[in-house]
Amino acid sequence: MSSPILGIDLGTTHSLVGVVDSGFPILLADAEGQRLTPSAVAVGEDGSLTVGRAALRQRALHPERVVTSVKRLMGRRTGESDWQPPYDLAALGLTAVDVSAAILRHLKGIAERAMEQPLNRAVITVPAFFNEPQREATQRAAVQAGLQVERLLSEPTAAALAYGLEKGSERQRVAVYDLGGGTFDVSVLELRDGVFEVLATAGNTQLGGDDLDRRIARHLLRQLQAEGGVWEASQAETVLAALTVAAEEAKKALSSAEEAPISLPFVDGIHSLSTVLTRADLERLASPWVDATRVHCQRALTDAGLDFADLDEVVLVGGSTRMPLVRQRVAQWFGRDPHVSTHPDEAIAMGAVIQAGMLAGDLRQLLLLDVTPLSLGIETYGGLMNVLIPRNSTLPCKAGEMFTNPVANQKSMLIRVLQGEREMARDNWELGRVEVPFVPGPKGSARVGVQFSIDADGLLEVLARDTHTGVDSILTIQRTAVDVTDGEVEKMIAESVDHALDDMTERQWTEAAMKGREMVDSVAAAVAALNDGMESEERASLEEAVVELKRLLEDPAQPLSRLKAAIQELDDLTQELAVRLVEQAMEESLQRRGVL
Ligand code: AMP
């Protein structure tokens, strides 16, 4: 099996990594159980690099040694960025690519520990507005981290994938509104034939949740000043930093609560702040901040040659879109309820994982059904229909079964996915087929699990797994294969009723025939094993019964009752044979051990 491809959101403030595992996209947690890794790297005196929360913890002591928001410096020459970092990369002996590589290596490590295997391929998201040097720098960072980049995926496209918007069959236009910690961007995408194209993108690299935190902090500072706090510029900085931390905490709490208490005893060593920030206070402070994003939405739409009303969907991503005020304003401007998720800060990573899964072939949403008008199943040995999901099942649904090899040394099993109500596979419609390889072995030794799942949108995914090796096979079905009209459904059901009796007889005949063939084989094996231990008369009657059974098996026109009788007869004749085989085996074993 090819190893999974990682999906990585290399974000300005946070990064995430995930994979498709057993058909499901998941984000992976580090040893502390956290999925979000701060995009922070601390540089030790000896040049050693520490990534994530451990790096942030060092910021209080050595702010100049902790690199954050390095994404803003990617692909830019020194001084070219409109953002001035509080650290000096050159003095630390690093480049932005080195720092990004350290973050990527850390994420790779999280995934490898979680998946217990080396992983070296990835899909990495980049902002839609990233230019060639910025993309190239990201690519270099990946290579430095030991990752082969399978695709650089634009962040809004990833978000749209996470919300499942690629499943729409028609030409769709989607706006992705991404308000994170440090930046805001909005993109307008168009989905054509299942592929997203970014029509336009706009935003502000200086507008994010952090700005709002500072606004709140200044508001709190004014309260402190009103209580008599006066500081030197340098001390004011320290106080403001403490207030900013408290401000962010309160802001987050106010996304679900109406009030957030703030208590900062002796912030400056003398004064204490004890207050309550209400949702209304926050919204007053946040209102101009949110409204500043509107002009960018308008701009992106104008560039795409569209109007708010032309959009089919609006998607929210980024941690700041958890704020009710943001959701409210977006709904108002766009005239529709936006898609929101409980983890808006994970949407881009989820999209990267989904894209990675699609590239690795682990994930394929296959075909579109409005309902399950007909039963879905697979063909089993002997040409029978084995129903996994019966007709009229309520969506979403999932069903599976384990299959084995009917013949020794088989190398693979052909799985034919069928739709229809008839007992015999050939009378149903084939939706697709997949060859599932497994390790050859004795008859009945393979274990192949086949799982059908249909999601709420009616998409069928067929997953076949050799449980010995864990190798998965996923089926590709032409979308057109499912255009089942009402007329066809009616015809199929009517035929299944008309042929019910014949079909049932044929199924029973086939099942009996499989049993008969199995007996013919095992009798031949038993006769060979007993060799001389058989009377010639006994051998003759057995051979006669075998010949008769074989003759009946050759001729499907034979009545079921005769076939069953012949099987019964052979079964009776071999009863005694079986006992003798066991006795012989025991005797041999005792002799080998020197007991007899
Ligand atoms: P991101 O860059 O997407 O990780 O978003 C981070 C930003 O989201 C930060 O400014 C956080 O303060 C903000 N954020 C996270 N959770 C919430 C929340 N529950 N309510 C408001 N803002 C939040």
Q: How many helices (DSSP H) and strands (DSSP E) are in the chain?
A: 14, 24
Name the residue with the closest Cα to ligand 1, atom 14: 319
- Amino acid occupying residue 307: D
- What was the pLDDT predicted at 198? 85
- Of 354, 369, 384, the residue at which a domain comes to its end is 369
Ligand 1 geometric centre to CA of 181 (Å): 6
Shared domain for 134 and 238, answered yes or no, is no
The rounded Å distance from CA 82 to ligand 1 centre is 23
CATH number at 540 reads: 1.20.1270.10
Same domain, 135 and 165: yes
> Distance between CA atoms of 436 and 447, rounded to whole angstroms?
11
Domain match, 535 and 436 both:
no
Instruction: Report which ligand 1 atom has the smallest distance to the Cα of 317.
Output: 3
Say if residue 93 is in the same domain as residue 152: yes
CA 26 / ligand 1 centre spacing (Å): 21
Q: How many domains does the chain have?
A: 4
Ligand 1 atom with the smallest distance to the CA of 254 is 20
**Do 330 and 308 reside in the same domain of the chain?**
yes
CA of 296 to the centre of ligand 1 (A): 20
Between the CA of 52 and the centroid of ligand 1 the distance, in Å, is 17
CA-nearest residue, atom 20 of ligand 1: 252
Residue 495 lies in a domain: no
**Do 272 and 315 share a structural domain?**
no
> Atom 8 (ligand 1): residue with closest C-alpha?
319
**Which of 212, 251, 289, 348 has most ligand 1 atoms within 8 Å of its beta carbon, as the pocket-test mutant?**
251
Measuring from atom 16 of ligand 1, which residue has the nearest CA? 319
Residue count of the chain, please give it: 596
Rounded alpha-carbon distances, angstroms, from residue 422 to 374, 441, 503, 505: 10, 32, 7, 12
Q: Which residue in 333, 429, 342 sits closest to 377, CA to CA?
A: 429
- 179 in any annotated domain: yes
Ligand 1 probe mutation, 205, 248, 252, most atoms within 8 A of CB: 252
Q: DSSP string spanning 552-563?
A: HHH-TTS-HHHH
CA-nearest residue, atom 7 of ligand 1: 181
Q: Give, using CA atoms, the residue closest to atom 15 of ligand 1.
A: 319
Residue 93: Cβ within 10 Å count: 9
Q: Are residues 181 and 141 in the same domain?
A: yes
Residues 398 and 505 in one domain: no
> Which of 177, 320, 323 has most ligand 1 atoms within 8 Å of CB, for mutation?
320
Return the structure tokens found at 588.
Answer: 């041999």
Find where tokens 């194209």 sit.
Answer: 197
Pocket test residue of 279, 345, 350 for ligand 1, highest count of atoms within 8 A of CB: 345
List the CATH number of the domain containing 138. Answer: 3.30.420.40
Give the Cβ contact number of residue 483 at 10 Å.
Answer: 10
Which residue type occupies 578? A
Domain annotation covers residue 496: no
Can you tell me which atom of ligand 1 is nearest the CA of 256? Answer: 19
User: Whose CA is closest to atom 18 on ligand 1?
Assistant: 252
CA of 71 to the centre of ligand 1 (A): 17
Q: DSSP character for 4? A: P
Q: What phi, psi does 328 have (nearest 5°)? A: -65, -50
Angle at 200 between CA 197 and CA 202, to 5 degrees: 135
- Rounded CA separation 292/277 (Å): 23
Cα-to-centroid distance, 293 and ligand 1 (Å): 16
Last residue of a domain, one of 337, 369, 401: 369
What is residue 2's predicted lDDT score, i.e. its pLDDT?
67
Contact assessment for residue 143 and residue 347, using Cβ atoms and an 8 Å cutoff: no
- The reply to whether 184 and 213 lie within a common domain is no
Q: What is the pLDDT of residue 374?
A: 77
Q: What is the pTM of this model?
A: 0.62
Instruction: Please check whether residue 384 lies inside any domain of the structure.
Output: yes
Q: What is the DSSP letter of 424?
A: B
Atom of ligand 1 nearest to the CA of 178: 3
471 pairs with which residues across the strands?
466
In ligand 1, the atom with minimum distance to the C-alpha of 209 is 10
- The total of other beta-carbon atoms located within 10 Å of residue 538's CB is 15
Alpha carbons 348 and 353: distance in angstroms, whole number: 9
565's tokens: 């009788």
d(CA 17, CA 450): 28
Under 8 Å between Cβ of 258 and 276: no
Q: How far apart are alpha carbons 37 and 53 in whole angstroms?
A: 7
- Name the CA radius of gyration of the chain, rounded: 34
485 in helix, strand or coil? Answer: coil
Residues 398, 453: contact at Cβ < 8 Å? yes
What residue owns the CA closest to ligand 1's atom 3? 318
Element (H, E) at 40: strand 40-43
Residue with tokens 């029973």: 508
CA 120 from centre of chain: 18
Order the strands of the 429-437 sheet from edge to edge: 384-389, 376-380, 412-419, 429-437
Q: Which residues are catalytic?
A: 9, 71, 155, 178
From the CA of 17, how far away is ligand 1's center (Å)?
Answer: 18
What distance in angstroms lies between residue 149's CA and the mean position of ligand 1's atoms?
28
Q: Which ligand 1 atom is the nearest neighbour of the CA of 318?
A: 3
Residue that terminates a domain, selected from 437, 468, 490 = 490
Give the CATH number, domain containing residue 219.
3.90.640.10
User: Does 163 map to a domain?
Assistant: yes
Q: Is residue 418 in a domain?
A: yes
- Residue with CA closest to ligand 1 atom 6: 181
Cα angle for residues 171, 457, 27 (degrees, 5° grid): 95
pLDDT in tens, the chain (596 residues): 568 999 999 999 899 999 988 777 899 999 999 999 999 999 999 999 999 999 999 988 888 999 999 998 998 876 666 677 889 999 999 999 999 999 999 999 999 999 999 999 999 999 888 877 888 899 999 999 999 999 999 899 999 988 877 776 577 899 999 998 888 999 999 887 777 888 888 888 788 999 999 999 999 998 888 877 666 666 778 888 889 999 999 999 999 999 999 998 888 788 888 999 999 999 999 999 999 999 999 999 998 899 999 999 999 999 999 999 999 999 999 999 999 887 899 999 999 998 998 888 766 543 333 456 678 899 987 888 999 888 766 666 788 888 888 778 888 888 888 888 888 999 998 888 888 888 888 887 878 888 888 766 566 788 888 877 878 887 755 433 345 677 777 788 888 888 888 888 888 888 889 888 888 888 888 777 777 677 778 888 888 889 999 999 998 888 888 999 999 988 888 877 777 777 777 777 777 767 65
Q: Which of 14, 277, 322, 343 to mutate to test the pocket of ligand 1 (most atoms within 8 A of CB)?
A: 322
170 and 315 inside one domain: yes
Domain span at residue 411? 376-490
For the CA of 248, the closest atom of ligand 1 is: 12
Please name the residue whose Cα sits nearest to atom 9 of ligand 1: 181
Q: Is residue 250 located within the same domain as residue 282?
A: yes
**How confident is the model at residue 79, as a pLDDT?**
66
Mention every residue, 6+ apart, whose C-beta is less than 8 A from residue 356: 4, 5, 6, 7, 19, 20, 121, 122, 123, 150
CA 326 – CA 313 distance, rounded (Å)? 16
For residues 579 and 507, state if they share a domain: yes
Q: How far apart are CA 553 and CA 274, in angstroms?
A: 90
Pocket of ligand 1 (CB under 6 A): 11, 13-14, 180-181, 208-210, 248, 251-252, 255, 318-320, 322-323, 345
Nearest CA to ligand 1 atom 21: 252
- 92 phi, psi to nearest 5 deg: -85, -5
Beta strands in 409-543 (DSSP E): 412-419, 429-437, 448-454, 459-466, 471-474
For the CA of 179, the closest atom of ligand 1 is 3
For the domain that residue 438 is a member of, what is the CATH number?
2.60.34.10
